[in-house]
Chain A
Amino acid sequence: MAQRLSRRAFLELGAVSLAVAGVPAVARGQGGVIRLGTLTPLTGNGGNYGPSMLKAMQWVAGEINAAGGVRGRKIQLVSEDDQTNPEAGVRAARKLIDLDKVAAIMGTWASAVTTAVAPLCWESRTFLTTVSGSDTITLLPHQGYLVRTQPNTQLQGKKFAEFMVAQGSKRVAILAVQAPFALPTQKVVGEELKKRGSELVAAVVYDKDKTTYRSEIDQVLKDKPDMIYLNGYTADVTVVLKDLYKAGYTGARIAQAYAVNQKLLSALPPEVTEGTWTIAPSPSIESPAYKRLAQALGNDDLDPYSCQTHDHISLVALAIAHAKGEATGTGIRDHVRKISQGGGARVDSAAEGLRLLAQGREINFDGASGPCDFNEIGDILDTKFRYEQAEKGRFKLLKIG
């Protein structure tokens, strides 16, 4: 027994030292390559979106490489799964930063994951691009090593409140999943409703891993709301919608479009979802960038996150090119606003932007998700919203504005 253990220990030690010895060799061997990390939720609650977000980035990387790379250097993507779980996200980010030595990590989705991963990034001077919406994220002391393409809670909360009041709602209740955005959203929606003569009558934050929310719903219904804002993720909102229907609630419901999506509508009987409104930051669906990506991914109706990650990798590649090929987090940080906004020539593809930069021209990238202009803390300045309503198990577009 002792002998077997020691042999095994020897093998393990050997494997570890071989691996350690191998790393610098691999890194040296690919010195000409620009390594970028993707960290999307391939599994877990965000698993509906992560794979497509990754595909969008892989497609852009392919386009850039086919057009000759970034100042002659090919992009190599290293892809990890954050499992929509902060702990798994941190492990994956550590690997991307320490082992793969990526210049940027792109595509974190859940606010909890982004909040956990961000400090690793700014401490190691790795650039982070995210689609998370929680206000707290851009308020972190990230020293500029972070931008996000998703509008923050303030902007989204205001749009929700405006819309709910426009529908004639006087008594709003919020059922929110326990997440970093739950309380900030509650606060801003409450304030914005009040300004418009309406009222937030109840707010309950629930745990996402429960199999039923009957008691939570009872708590909310006690206050007789005429509109319920379901601020959760797809898995829990599915249960909440069912339980609301069973409870006999007939008032209005509104949710984030990432929670109430087509997959949810297909999984539930239409009478349960009928009339539910959704609001989402809208991709720039008229833009050439959106159309090209839609064609490449074979999907006419792209989710906003895939459009945003398309822009993430484009911004990162263009910033590296603008920094004269300095493929580091600091280089990207110092140059990302020089290619995303300002008076340069408008471009909507990374390959086109790289070509113009090579000619020494200045550019302003507008992507598939929108204008991609950032303020000093990394929030986007402007975006469009898309309003839809569930009708017989499908979405009907009300407006984009």
Chain B
Amino acid sequence: MPREIAQLVLNGLMAGTILAVPAIGFTAIYAVLRFPNFAIASHLTIGAFAGWLANVSLGLPAALAVGVAFAAAGVAGVVSDELILKPLRPAGALTTAIAAVALTLVLENVIRFVFGNDLRGYALPIRRDWQVAGLRIAPQQVQNFGLAVVAMAAVFLFLAFTRTGKAMRAVADNPTLASVKGIDTDRVARLTTFVAMGLAGVGGMLVGLDTSIDPLTGFRVILSVFAAAVVGGLGSIPGAVVGALTIGIGEELSLLVLAPAYRTVVGFAAILFVLTLRPRGILGERAY
């Protein structure tokens, strides 16, 4: 039994780390732009397909293809935000969130139109798991874990030490004050969208590396991403990481008492639980 629990926690840790990457993106957009951008689902998929093209057509190794996934999803995010969501923002967060849902369906179908419905796998060798102290772990999982940690570390360093990162935090903290201080809030909004959607793209590709991709890749994980952000505290970036790990490990541990078919309930239950008892989330709302 202890070994079984350890294996479940390990599986959950791996799943949670990958989940954390798009969850950071989701929460960052919420922190700066103040609306839940559900379009992140299709940007996960865009990143996954861009990374797939780079990996399979151009022959780039996964670690470099992740960069392509980041750039493609980031650019797509900025373009769709400028054209569709930005003009709607004055109408309120709810309107923008609904538009984001519509946008994500449109983008998903654009991908379907271009690539079709077929499943695609990355050009990666599949290796048997390593057995360590009676626990099993896949080499690919370790690589994905590493990539996710690098991406998250880059975001934290960027926010903590660069001028632009500080500007982003300032806007998230108090947009009016930031703008009085001479920060170009429009530019910060664009940059946030770029980085956040780029992270979503990286998340999509990391999900795809271990599985396979199709136009529904992002849609499958968006609920868990949303749950992670809410549980950790919408708007808090460390919160998104804590939330993602909580959801990831929680979903796995639920298997001890629940049939696997009900695993998804963990995400929903976590949202209800947190909103009821601690609406600000585990870490509370702080941009950084």
A residues contacting B by CB (< 8 A) are 43-44, 47-48, 178, 204-207, 209-216, 218-219, 234-235, 238-239, 242, 245-248, 263-264, 267-269, 271-272
CB distance from A336 to the nearest CB of B (A): 32
Please determine whether A211 and B11 come into contact, CB atoms closer than 8 angstroms.
no
Q: Which residue of B lies closest to A234 (CB)?
A: B119
Q: Is the CB of A242 within 8 A of B211?
A: yes
Q: Which of B4, B121, B128, B212 contacts A245 (CB 8 A)?
A: B128
B115-133 vs A: 1/0 string, CB under 8 Å? 0011111000111110000
| B138 at the binding interface (Cβ < 8 Å) | yes
Q: With A43-B117, A215-B11, A267-B121 in contact, is A209–B264 under 8 Å at CB?
A: yes
Top 7 closest pairs, chain A to chain B, by CB? A47-B117, A267-B121, A209-B220, A178-B261, A206-B260, A205-B261, A239-B211
Q: Is B138 a contact of A246 with CB atoms below 8 Å?
A: yes
A359 CB → nearest B CB, Å: 44
Query: Taking A207-B261, A248-B129, A271-B126 as contacts, is the C-beta distance between A212 and B112 under 8 angstroms?
Result: no
Task: Check: B207 CB closer than 8 A to any chain A CB.
Answer: yes
Residues of A within 8 A of B210 (CB): 211-212, 242
Interface positions of B (Cβ within 8 A of A): 4, 7-8, 11, 14-15, 18, 109, 112, 117-121, 125-129, 136, 138, 140, 207, 210-212, 214-216, 220-221, 252, 255, 259-264
> For the complex, what is the distance from the CA of A213 to the CA of B220, rounded to whole Å?
14
A218 and B7 form a contact (CB under 8 A): yes
Complex: A207 Cα to B263 Cα, angstroms: 7
Offer 30 A-B interface pairs, CB within 8 angstroms, sorted by A. A43-B109, A43-B112, A47-B112, A48-B118, A205-B259, A206-B260, A207-B263, A207-B264, A209-B220, A211-B15, A211-B211, A211-B221, A212-B14, A212-B15, A212-B210, A215-B7, A215-B11, A215-B260, A218-B4, A235-B212, A238-B119, A238-B211, A239-B211, A239-B212, A242-B212, A246-B129, A248-B129, A264-B119, A267-B118, A267-B212
- Whether B212 and A219, one on each chain, are in contact in the complex, defined by CB atoms closer than 8 angstroms, is no
Complex Cα gap A213–B262 (Å): 13
Alpha-carbon distance A268/B118, docked complex (angstroms) = 12
Known: A206-B260, A206-B263. 11 other contacts (CB 8 A): A43-B215, A47-B117, A48-B118, A215-B255, A239-B211, A242-B126, A242-B212, A246-B126, A267-B120, A268-B126, A269-B121
User: What are the residues of chain B within 8 A of A239 when measuring CB–CB?
Assistant: 211-212
B121 touches A268 (CB 8 A): yes
B8 and A215 contact, CB distance less than 8 A: yes
Shortest Cβ distance from B221 into A: residue: A211
A211 touching B207 by the CB < 8 A rule?
yes
Question: A218 to chain B: which residues have CB within 8 Å?
Answer: 4, 7
